[in-house]
Structure 1
Amino acid sequence: MRTSRPVTARVEYGVAAAAELVAELPLDLPTITGTVAETLRPVPAGARLDPDVLEHTAQLLAGQVQLVLPLAQAAHRRRRPDPRRPGLVGYGLAYMRARMEVAPPSPRTHPLDSLVWCQETARGLQQLLGVALVDDAAAR
């Protein structure tokens, strides 16, 4: 049985007029990956979508993306071969940043749209984890 033990990831933030700050952020990987797996589990045709569950899932995913996105951005900055160009990963990060600036569809009025938003966000979160947690030595 897996225990839910937080993993500490190191993030470097670039600050214009100051030295780089290093922050320790706890990542509960089993919880995040469990949320992603549960969200991406197939939904049977005709199943009733519970608005309360969808709303909770959307909030949970948005919070997890907000936690992982800075890690992925810092990892991408370290690995990017040409700092003048964002590359494909950079565009994906920009997409997830923009996605978090727009409220998800209301699960009460548009439950299917809310489900799709959650599923797309879960897939994006999977990709963010991949970028954030890949070993720098293995990436070269």
Structure 2
Amino acid sequence: MTAISLSTAQHVVVPASGPDGAAPLDVVTIARTASAALQPAPDGALPGPEELARSIGLLTEQIGLLLPIAQAAHRRNRPAGASGPGLVGHGLAYVRRRMTHTPPDPFVSPAEADTWARESARCVQQLLGLALDGHGPRHAAAAR
């Protein structure tokens, strides 16, 4: 597949389980959301609770969208005869387990919520990289 210029295309269609076997991903928006959550505040202060709640909500939705696509990519790309889940499989299992937990309330525990948001952003970046593997630009390029 040819590389996709993000200046002309914002969506990448990747294989996924669904009625038509594909899913369009808004790569630019997903990458920007993760990148924004990882940006340190200029003065070192935590983001406000409203901003943290919004960020956690968006990142949680993006993980929910990307996780099944990344799992399918992992299954497709796994070498024949490989034993065990491998490092990527363990990472995907971690994200699945993490999604069973309720995020900290940013109005009650802002520091914990900020940590949760940052870890969620790193998960989104990794899942996006797996989802795009061989289907378009990697997340680092998309964030530019």
How far did 1:84 drift?
4.2
CA contact (8 A) 1:4 1:31 kept: no
TM-score, length-scaled by structure 1? 0.82
Q: Which residue is 2:51 aligned to? A: 53
SS at match of 2:22: strand
SS at match of 1:108: coil
Higher RCO (C-alpha 8 Å, min separation 6): 2
Q: How many residues align?
A: 129
1:40 to 27, 38, 41: 38
How far did 1:125 drift?
1.0
Aligned residue type for 1:6: H
Residue by residue over 1:46-72, the C-alpha shift from the partner in whole angstroms, topping out at 9 and shown as x without a partner, is 525311110010010000010011110
Q: Which runs of no fewer than 5 residues in structure 2 stay unpaired? A: 1-5, 136-144
Q: Which residue is 2:142 aligned to? A: none
Q: Which residue is 2:61 aligned to? A: 63
Q: Which moved more, 1:48-57 or 1:33-42?
A: 48-57
CA contact (8 A) 2:103 2:116 kept: yes
Q: Which residue is 1:95 aligned to? A: 94
Q: Which runs of no fewer than 5 residues in structure 1 stay unpaired? A: 14-20
Task: Give the CA RMSD over aligned residues.
Answer: 2.2
| Cα distance between partner residues in 2 of 1:117 and 1:90 | 21
How far did 1:6 drift?
2.7
| Cα distance between partner residues in 1 of 2:46 and 2:129 | 32
CA contact (8 A) 1:4 1:28 kept: no
Residue by residue over 1:14-60, the C-alpha shift from the partner in whole angstroms, topping out at 9 and shown as x without a partner, is xxxxxxx6532221101000001111111245525311110010010
2:10 is the counterpart of 1:5? yes
CA contact (8 A) 2:13 2:22 kept: yes
Q: Which residue is 1:106 aligned to? A: 105
Q: Which structure is larger by alpha-carbon Rg, 1 or 2?
A: 1
SS at match of 1:103: coil
Aligned residue type for 1:55: A
CA contact (8 A) 1:105 1:114 kept: yes
TM-score, length-scaled by structure 2? 0.80
SS at match of 2:35: helix
